[in-house]
Amino acid sequence: MAMLRFAVFRLFTMLATLVVVSVLIFIIINLPPGDYLSNQINELRATGQSSGVAKAEFLRQEYALDRPLWEQYLIWMGFAPGPHGFSGLLQGEFGWSFEFDRPVAELVGGALWLTVLVNLAAILFVYMVALPLGVIAAARAKTWIDYTSAFVGYLGLATPNFLLALILFYYGNRYLNLPIGGLMDPKFEGEPMSFEKMKSVLVHLIIPTFVIGTSGAAAMMQRLRANLLDELGKPYVETARAKGMSESRMLVKYPLRVAFNPFVADIGTLLPAMVSGSVLVSVVLGLQTIGPVLLTALKSQDLFLSAFVLMFVALLTLIGTLISDLLLALLDPRIRFGGRSS
Amino acid sequence: MSTLPDGRYVDDRPYERDLGEEARNADLDVSNTRLVWRRFREHKLGLVSALFLLFSYLMLPFAGFISPYTANERAPDHLYGAPQGIHLFHEGSLIGPYVYPITAEVNLETFSWEYIRDYDNPAKLEFFCEASYYKLAGFIKTNRHLFCAPEGATVFLLGADRLGRDVFSRILYGAQLSLTVGLVGITVSFFIGIILGSIAGYFGGFLDWIINRVIEILRSLPELPLWLALSAAVPSHWSPVAVFFIISIILGILDWPGLARAVRSKFLSLREEEFVRAAEMMGAKPSRVIGKHLLPNFLSHLIASATLSIPAMILGETALSFLGLGLRAPAVSWGVMLNDAQNLASIEIYPWTAIPMLPIVIIVLAFNFFGDGLRDALDPNRS
């Protein structure tokens, strides 16, 4: 019951946060002077094409861009009626992309799922790499295993994501015959999901996952190692050893479980970094996620498109944080009942 | 062994103090800076990194002097020129540092540039010579360079880029922006973080609640998309200097929450200490209590953790410029240079266009090691 109450409370906080975030995003998007349509109108006037002006003016009214900013925000969110009644994010209307002249929903539909897929794969990769390596590095502290993993970790932290992507892409294609560019073979694009398509997507995922996950895995590994080392110095470990418990069994049974808490809590900080990384890497590698869409939208001031993509990215991380909080509450009763003390 | 009148036994040997133990502890009461320095010195990797960083930053004002070309100087006949080595011996005899002149020709079968080295005419490098004008340290106009290309030849130590600009010179010029972007950014983040963190921790209550929520929200958002959105808002007609400052401020604006959180938690524990009470009793204003009594307690720690977030900013600037939303040409930074290396084809044929990644990796590693060393040295609870 307490668990349920906690979950409901967290969900409520998340929604409130999302509203604040939407205000923030809307302000940021509107920071550049003018908007896509008024820029276009100016351009058309300057070149003397009057036929386009009328269409742009019509669109401006259609999407309420001629109203004050706060009203635009309310209409965009669906809190207030626009020219066509309530049609905002809340009603599932994501707006119109002026740059591509298509509805936003149609434009980003497939990309959303691929974004989630790429990020999920990266998170799985981080945990699958960081958990064993972190434990080994702590258990065999100050041996060559520890030093090697620390060195690789530092290198992973220091190499900019996009460069790693370029390098791996080049060598992956050359020596392992991994495919270049995109998230699936071009012939599968627009086709229904099938086993072959699945396989193609998975093969294409290898390098992006590795690139996005490396720095996160390095950071997490170091943190797990430090936590575990703290635990390993404690008297109960010595007692367990003195009683003749086998090293590996002892390690998994006690210190690892204690050191595991921060490991789960880290999803909250890991996820924003993952999403950031995936945006960058997608642009470099030409993956069909929302990364490249965001970049073009931002560059051309495509208001609704960039606002929606930013909202989606924020939602993704907030959901991730929510999940990590719930998992943590399941793992650790102190959080469920006592609330966190700072 | 002799016996004293009162019956006690005393060793006859002269009294010897254990000098070893005492010498070790003799100067444990020296200033804290000294102690920290002593501990930092033990961290060899950190020490080397610190020296390297010091060297790099000291070099910045003299970038124009060290580099043979200026940042945007073009050699139109040497587009994608290959790196040239500096040699000392020509046909067995020492003639001092020289390069082989290169002429570039287009191969119309592969459609790439080919470079023909003229091995018969070694061209000696000139030192302290006059070449194009630049501003030393930003204000002394001069045309003196440490070394420059001999007459009729080029000296591209690390090759030339797409427009025939010297990569080596551009790396040195790029360092001026790439290395300072982190410093400006960290200053911004440091100020916001300390001010908001101390307000939240010292006053508590409603202010604390608000600041905490802001911190949580900012920490839960992905940085890069926000950086992108903010820098997309920078008008394109601004001068490179203005863009540079606004970019570093953008980098700093999203970085402060971590710092503010650290400050806040320290304040929460220190607020109840007696010395704070005493200061308050004597009528010190909050600003004085915070600035004089509380902050100095852990300022050094904050500096250490700030050092660790500089590399994130350097990488951030690189990423933004790489994507074309950060610094723009004619400004030169490592990210701007890598912008040219975006496609695989050019890296495969002209690998030296990707060389600017080396200084990035090295500098970021150096900052990490330096920050680690500093943190270990400042940590009084170190084992």
ipTM of the complex: 0.79
Specify the higher pLDDT residue, A99 or B335.
B335
Q: How confident is the model at residue A339 (pLDDT cuts 50, 70, 90)?
A: very low
Phi/psi-derived region of residue B18, left when phi > 0, alpha when psi is between -120 and 50, beta in every other case? beta
* Residue A228: CATH number of its domain: 1.10.3720.10
Pair type for strands B140-148 and B126-136: antiparallel
Contacting residues of A for B268, CB less than 8 Å apart: 342
Does residue B107 belong to the interface with chain A, where contact is any CB pair within 8 Å?
Answer: no
Residue-range definition of the domain harbouring residue A176: 108-336
∠B202-B301-B288 over CA atoms, to 5°? 35
**Domain ranges for chain B:** 84-155, 170-378
Contact B231, B250 (CB under 8 A): yes
Of B216, B225, B361, the CB nearest to A310: B225
Rounded to whole angstroms, what are the CA distances from A187 to A115, A196, A215, B163?
Answer: 20, 11, 33, 38
Q: Tell me the nearest-neighbour CA distance from B232 into chain A, angstroms.
A: 6
Average pLDDT taken over every residue of chain A: 80
Q: Is residue A14 part of a domain?
A: no
d(CA A160, CA B110): 32
User: Is the pLDDT score of B381 beyond 60?
Assistant: no
User: Is the pLDDT score of A101 beyond 60?
Assistant: yes
Mutate to test the interface with B, among A178, A274, A298, A309 (most CBs of B within 10 A): A298
Per the listing, tokens 């258990």 go with: A139
Q: Tell me the nearest-neighbour CA distance from B25 into chain A, angstroms.
A: 27
The structure tokens listed for B138 are: 């930003």
pLDDT, residue B53, reads: 92
d(CA A156, CA A159): 6
Mutate to test the interface with B, among A154, A178, A323, A325 (most CBs of B within 10 A): A154
Does residue B254 belong to the interface with chain A, where contact is any CB pair within 8 Å?
Answer: no
Closest C-alpha to B165, from B321, B42, B329: B329
Q: Is residue A130 part of a domain?
A: yes
pLDDT, residue A304, reads: 84
pLDDT, residue B55, reads: 92
Instruction: Tell me the sheet residues that pair with B130.
Output: B144
Residues A160, B319: C-beta atoms closer than 8 Å: yes
H or E segment to which residue A96 belongs: strand A96-97
Q: Is residue A115 part of a domain?
A: yes
∠A201-A204-A206 over CA atoms, to 5°? 115
Q: Is residue A29 part of a domain?
A: no
Contacts 24+ apart (CB under 8 A), B258-261: B258/B193, B258/B219, B258/B305, B258/B309, B259/B189, B259/B190, B259/B193, B259/B194, B259/B197, B259/B302, B259/B305, B259/B306, B259/B309, B260/B192, B260/B193, B260/B194, B260/B196, B260/B197, B260/B200, B260/B211, B260/B215, B261/B197, B261/B215, B261/B219
User: Is the pLDDT score of B268 beyond 80?
Assistant: yes
Contact B294, B198 (CB under 8 A): yes
pLDDT tens column, A162-191: 788 877 777 777 777 776 666 676 666 666
Average pLDDT of span B21-42: 73
Q: Is residue A220 part of a domain?
A: yes
Instruction: Tell me the sheet residues that pair with B10.
Output: B2
pLDDT, residue B50, reads: 92
Of B225, B318, B368, the CB nearest to A313: B225
Average pLDDT taken over every residue of chain B: 81
Average pLDDT of span A317-328: 82
CATH number of B170-378: 1.10.3720.10
d(CA B180, CA B334): 12
Q: In percent, how much of chain A has pLDDT > 90?
A: 1
Number of domains in chain A: 1
Alpha carbon of residue B80 to chain centroid: 29
Contacting residues of A for B222, CB less than 8 Å apart: 271-273, 275-276, 279, 313-314, 317
Contact A144, A137 (CB under 8 A): no
Cis peptide before B101 (omega within 30 of 0): no
Residues B318, A160: C-beta atoms closer than 8 Å: yes
Q: Is residue A211 part of a domain?
A: yes
Q: Enumerate the H helices of chain A as residue ranges.
A: 2-29, 36-47, 50-62, 69-77, 104-139, 144-158, 161-175, 195-232, 235-242, 247-253, 255-265, 267-285, 290-299, 303-331, 333-338
Instruction: Tell me the sheet residues that pair with B129.
Output: B145
- Return the residue of B nearest to A309 by Cα: B225
d(CA B182, CA B310): 5
User: In chain B, which ranges are E strands?
Assistant: 2-3, 9-10, 87-90, 93-99, 102-107, 112-117, 123-124, 126-136, 140-148
d(CA A256, CA A80): 52
Residues A17, B268: C-beta atoms closer than 8 Å: no
Residues B361, A157: C-beta atoms closer than 8 Å: no
∠A227-A229-A230 over CA atoms, to 5°? 65
pLDDT, residue A340, reads: 42
Q: In percent, how much of chain B has pLDDT > 70?
A: 94
Average pLDDT of span A110-114: 83
Q: Is residue A80 part of a domain?
A: no
d(CA B303, CA B375): 9
Backbone angles phi, psi at B284, to 5 degrees: -70, 140
d(CA B104, CA A158): 36
User: Is the pLDDT score of A338 beyond 60?
Assistant: no
pLDDT tens column, A265-309: 777 778 888 888 888 888 888 788 888 888 888 888 788 888 888
pLDDT tens column, B45-91: 889 999 999 999 998 888 888 888 877 777 777 777 777 777 777 77
pLDDT tens column, A184-242: 766 666 666 677 777 777 888 888 888 888 888 888 888 888 888 888 888 998 899 89
Q: In percent, how much of chain A has pLDDT > 70?
A: 92
Of B216, B229, B365, the CB nearest to A310: B229
Alpha carbon of residue A289 to chain centroid: 11
Q: Tell me the nearest-neighbour CA distance from B256 into chain A, angstroms.
A: 15
Average pLDDT of span B112-129: 75
Mutate to test the interface with B, among A163, A174, A180, A312 (most CBs of B within 10 A): A163
Per the listing, tokens 């000291």 go with: B58
Mutate to test the interface with A, among B227, B313, B323 (most CBs of A within 10 A): B323
What pTM was estimated for this model as a whole? 0.81
Residues B230, A276: C-beta atoms closer than 8 Å: no
**Which one-letter DSSP state was computed for residue B108?**
T
Per the listing, tokens 């205000």 go with: A23
pLDDT, residue B383, reads: 41
d(CA B369, CA B46): 5
Summarize chain B as % helix, strand, coil (round to 5): 55, 15, 30
* HSE-CB for A50 with a 13 A CA cutoff: 0
d(CA A219, CA A274): 12
